[in-house]
Amino acid sequence: MPESTDMDLDSFLENPEVQAVTTSNTTDLQARLGFQPPVCDVFNHPFSTLKEELQYEFHIHPAAREQLPKIINNKVQKITGAEALDSRHASDFTKPRNIGIVFSGGPAPGGHNVIGGLYDAMKKVNPESRLFGFILGPDGILESDVVELSQEIIDAHRNLGGFSMIKTGRTKIDSQSKISLARENCKRLNLDALVVVGGDDSNTNAAFLAQELYDDGIQVIGVPKTIDGDIQVKDKHGETLCAMSFGFHTAARAFARNISNLCTDSSSDVKYWHVCKVMGRVASHLALEVALQVHPNLCMIGEEMADYIDSERIAKANASGSIDYTAYGMTLRHLSRVICNAIVRRAEVGKNYGVIVIPEGILEFINEIQVFIIKLNTIIAEYNQTHDTDFHTHFVTLTEKLDYLRRLARFSREGHDLFVWNTRDDDLFNDIPAFFQEGLLTERDSHGNFQFSQVETEKVILELVKDYLKIRQEGGRYKVGIKPEWYEKTIRRGGFDPGALGPVLFKNYNTGAPFLLAKDSLTSIKKLNLELVREKIIGKNDDIPQLIQKVFMETVPKFKTQVHFYGYDGRGNDPTWFDSTYTYNLGRTVFALIANRATGQMAAIKNLGKDFSEWEPIGIPIGPLMHLEERKGKLALVLERTVVDTESPAFRVVKALREKWLAAAPGPDDYRKPGPIRFAGVSIESKPLILTLNNLGQTTTP
Ligand code: FBP
């Protein structure tokens, strides 16, 4: 065999077999690019029309009525297929159009297929129509950075994750000057319609643009995107119109796949607790779906914590004739106790390992933190509005920021102003660790939102968990249970009588318990020594025999953790069959809405929880979905996000199975393997389990 140094690298690299190994154009990629998602039946017709569905009604906020008068009376529109249209309608439907599209906010798998679906529909109706992609999000609209999307560009991105085709950004078109610029640039491109693919803030943008560009005849259509899954729409009677934003299924499947591998690893080397933070800036839908897919030992759901009521505290307060407001909602300390209890209970049955899932936005559901976030949002926004420099440029170090807060607290104490930050806030804030203070003071995003992904939430929680476990360990209330057979075998090897030594070491010896628990008093080797001397097992000056020491050490828990963050990886993942098909049909829906002159509508597919044959493309009016919310310290009209409904069938299933998944009992864990992500073939994993359960909950409840 020739030495590798003799190899002619250039000709080796040109070898077709080597090229097959090194090419980025893999067969898997080609299969993905070539996948043609099925279309809903209505799109098998040459034309479509819109039918107003008046049975769906909304509670409309007066501010939305006032600020969005031109689109607020829009109705839900059902898309129906048509073989022919009257000649006026047909010529309008088929006229050549210029359509602009923009991605806005974080990437979500399937975005490229929205473009693909729109492009295919548009070109089929009129090959003269042109599609323009704005580069890097709304900045592309403001800076007129635009590219005409060709068949070639689109074909190179079909069924692929991320938003790499035209990139994305988080700029908001939220001032009159930006709207004027957007109008000018859309007009310069001679756009008939603008499509905004985004989350709550971006669809809010879409609604305002629809209102503002109405008289210019430029239609604006939104598309519900976000892996967080918090764009869901129900009408006022609880009828689900949009069960899930796109990208959610793929991201959840990607996280779940990795976390299920951790479950396998964790139960193999049995020494780590894996703490997995999963994205979801506010709502815990992703954590809930991951829990259903994986069955982790513990999964915290923020929305449940917000609903928590501490009845013991309430009873205590009642007895003393007072009201304890801290009894409503969970505190950080309480959260750490819930986690500790789970850890301690598993340790007692010999399982000193496990997997915990926490949602990225969990802190927003904790009373004291939520108050800090709101107050600091206001302080930062007010500072930025009233000064030439922004808060984070002016106060660079944590010490500078804390000094500023202290000054505000002093002002408020001196009665200068009724200010949002008082001495009590300042004292409480100074009690939390510096890295967390820094996290709470991080720069807000362009919408003024707190950026949860920048804060090491899991670290905050773990510090508290570690502190509390230490207290429990010192009090003898955190022990690893050991199997009686192992104990007896080991101790006999040392020449001791297990029956005589058992009651000295264990509090439940000879009770038939499947795991032996060391006595609470045995919290250290020193205490073990004293006990053995007292029970005359060893003499005062003897060392503890090695095998007794070995047994004892087995009962002492070591809390070792590995921390993981799942988020960006899921956003870049190639879409599942569900997301590929959902988004391709969303693209087709967008075109049907545009070709039928809709504006201020969000494209959606009804019945996502049901079989594909029942999917129904619709347009949902965005205006009626808006409400007032705090943004940059002020109330602003924005699209309402949907958080986890703790009454939903999916949540109730998780709650009911929680104890089983904790598996704090002898026997194996109940981990579930969701398997690899596919874009073909039908299985129970073919759509979000949340949707399947909620759908079953609706159809099976009498
Ligand atoms: P969108 O709401 O824009 O879809 O973004 C969601 C998200 O993925 C969150 O889950 C996460 O907190 C955030 O984006 C991270 O943002 P960034 O990409 O700016 O770090």
Tell how far the Cα of 177 is from the centroid of ligand 1, in angstroms: 26
**pLDDT at position 203 over 60:** yes
Looking at the structure, tell me whether residues 217 and 255 fall in a common domain. Answer: no
Contact 363, 457 (CB under 8 A): yes
The alpha carbon of 147 is separated from its chain's Cα centroid by a whole number of angstroms, namely 31
Question: Is the minimum distance from the CB of 279 to ligand 1 under 6 angstroms?
Answer: yes
3-7, 20-24, 439-443: least confidently modelled range: 3-7
Looking at the structure, tell me whether residues 270 and 350 fall in a common domain. Answer: yes
| Residue 197 included in any domain | yes
Which atom in ligand 1 lies closest to the alpha carbon of residue 286?
A: 10
Please give the average per-residue pLDDT across 565-584, as a whole number: 96
Looking at the structure, tell me whether residues 387 and 361 fall in a common domain. Answer: yes
Which atom in ligand 1 lies closest to the alpha carbon of residue 202?
A: 3
Cα 286 to Cα 611: distance, rounded to the nearest angstrom:
22
Domain around 517: 480-556
Question: Is the minimum distance from the CB of 446 to ligand 1 under 6 angstroms?
Answer: no
Looking at the structure, tell me whether residues 522 and 490 fall in a common domain. Answer: yes
Paired strand residues for 298: 356
Question: Is the minimum distance from the CB of 172 to ligand 1 under 6 angstroms?
Answer: no
Looking at the structure, tell me whether residues 289 and 351 fall in a common domain. Answer: yes
Tell how far the Cα of 463 is from the centroid of ligand 1, in angstroms: 25
Which listed residue (228, 426, 574, 669) is catalytic? 228
Please give the average per-residue pLDDT across 693-700, as a whole number: 85
Which atom in ligand 1 lies closest to the alpha carbon of residue 360?
A: 12
| Residue 8 included in any domain | no
**pLDDT at position 439 over 90:** no
Question: Is the minimum distance from the CB of 100 to ligand 1 under 6 angstroms?
Answer: no
Q: Which of 492, 527, 556 is the last residue of a domain?
A: 556
285-289, 497-501, 676-680: least confidently modelled range: 676-680
Looking at the structure, tell me whether residues 596 and 448 fall in a common domain. Answer: no
Predicted TM-score (pTM) above 0.75: yes
Q: Which of 197, 203, 227 to mutate to test the pocket of ligand 1 (most atoms within 8 A of CB)?
A: 227
Give the tens place of pLDDT for each residue, 115-157.
999 999 999 999 999 999 999 999 999 999 999 999 999 999 9
Please give the average per-residue pLDDT across 187-193, as a whole number: 98
CATH number, domain containing residue 34: 3.40.50.450
CATH number, domain containing residue 322: 3.40.50.460
Please give the average per-residue pLDDT across 198-213, as a whole number: 96
228 is catalytic: yes
pLDDT-based confidence at residue 693 (cuts at 50, 70, 90): very high
Region at 247 (left for phi over 0; alpha for psi -120 to 50; beta for the rest): left
Share of the chain above pLDDT 70, in %: 98
Q: Which of 284, 453, 641 to mutate to test the pocket of ligand 1 (most atoms within 8 A of CB)?
A: 453
Looking at the structure, tell me whether residues 670 and 627 fall in a common domain. Answer: no
How high is the pLDDT of residue 432? 83
Give the tens place of pLDDT for each residue, 93-118.
999 999 999 999 999 999 999 999 99
| Residue 66 included in any domain | no
Q: Which of 556, 590, 614 is the last residue of a domain?
A: 556
Please give the average per-residue pLDDT across 45-55, as a whole number: 97
SS3 per residue for 306-320: HCCECHHHHHHHHHC
How high is the pLDDT of residue 468? 94
What's the Cα-to-Cα distance from 332 to each of 282, 305, 432, rounded to whole Å? 17, 10, 11
**What is the bridge-based pairing of β-strands 634-639 and 219-224?**
unpaired
Contact 76, 620 (CB under 8 A): yes
**pLDDT at position 1 over 60:** no
Which residue's C-alpha comes closest to atom 7 of ligand 1? 106
How high is the pLDDT of residue 530? 96
Choice between 700 and 626, residue whose per-residue pLDDT is larger: 626
pLDDT-based confidence at residue 59 (cuts at 50, 70, 90): very high
Q: Which of 620, 639, 658 is the last residue of a domain?
A: 639
Share of the chain above pLDDT 90, in %: 79
Q: Which of 244, 245, 281 to mutate to test the pocket of ligand 1 (most atoms within 8 A of CB)?
A: 281
Please give the average per-residue pLDDT across 222-232, as a whole number: 98
**pLDDT at position 69 over 70:** yes
Tell how far the Cα of 636 is from the centroid of ligand 1, in angstroms: 20
How high is the pLDDT of residue 391? 92
Number of other residues whose CB lies within 10 A of the CB of residue 534: 9
Tell how far the Cα of 123 is from the centroid of ligand 1, in angstroms: 32
Looking at the structure, tell me whether residues 112 and 31 fall in a common domain. Answer: yes
**pLDDT at position 598 over 70:** yes
pLDDT-based confidence at residue 679 (cuts at 50, 70, 90): confident
Please give the average per-residue pLDDT across 434-458, as a whole number: 82
Question: Is the minimum distance from the CB of 105 to ligand 1 under 6 angstroms?
Answer: yes
Question: Is the minimum distance from the CB of 280 to ligand 1 under 6 angstroms?
Answer: yes
| Residue 79 included in any domain | no
45-54, 310-319, 388-397, 477-486: least confidently modelled range: 310-319
8-12, 74-78, 155-159, 429-433: least confidently modelled range: 429-433
How high is the pLDDT of residue 417? 62
**pLDDT at position 33 over 90:** yes
pLDDT-based confidence at residue 5 (cuts at 50, 70, 90): low
Looking at the structure, tell me whether residues 286 and 402 fall in a common domain. Answer: yes
| Residue 272 included in any domain | yes
Tell how far the Cα of 204 is from the centroid of ligand 1, in angstroms: 16
Give the tens place of pLDDT for each residue, 515-565.
999 999 999 999 999 999 999 999 999 999 999 999 999 999 999 999 999
Tell how far the Cα of 484 is from the centroid of ligand 1, in angstroms: 50
On average, the pLDDT of the chain sits at 93
Question: Is the minimum distance from the CB of 354 to ligand 1 under 6 angstroms?
Answer: no
Tell how far the Cα of 202 is from the centroid of ligand 1, in angstroms: 12
Question: Is the minimum distance from the CB of 360 to ligand 1 under 6 angstroms?
Answer: yes
CA atoms within 13 A on the CB side of 73: 2
Please give the average per-residue pLDDT across 628-642, as a whole number: 86
> Cα torsion for 602, 607, 611, 615, to the nearest 10°?
-40
Tell how far the Cα of 699 is from the centroid of ligand 1, in angstroms: 33
Question: Is the minimum distance from the CB of 621 to ligand 1 under 6 angstroms?
Answer: no
Which residue's C-alpha comes closest to atom 6 of ligand 1? 106
| Residue 76 included in any domain | no
Which parts of 154-218 are beta strand (E)? 193-198
Looking at the structure, tell me whether residues 409 and 524 fall in a common domain. Answer: no
How many structural domains compose the chain?
3
Paired strand residues for 246: 225
3-state SS of the chain: helix, strand, coil percent to 5?
50, 15, 40
How high is the pLDDT of residue 2? 53
| Residue 65 included in any domain | no
Looking at the structure, tell me whether residues 505 and 550 fall in a common domain. Answer: yes
Which atom in ligand 1 lies closest to the alpha carbon of residue 227?
A: 4
| Residue 62 included in any domain | no
Looking at the structure, tell me whether residues 166 and 222 fall in a common domain. Answer: yes
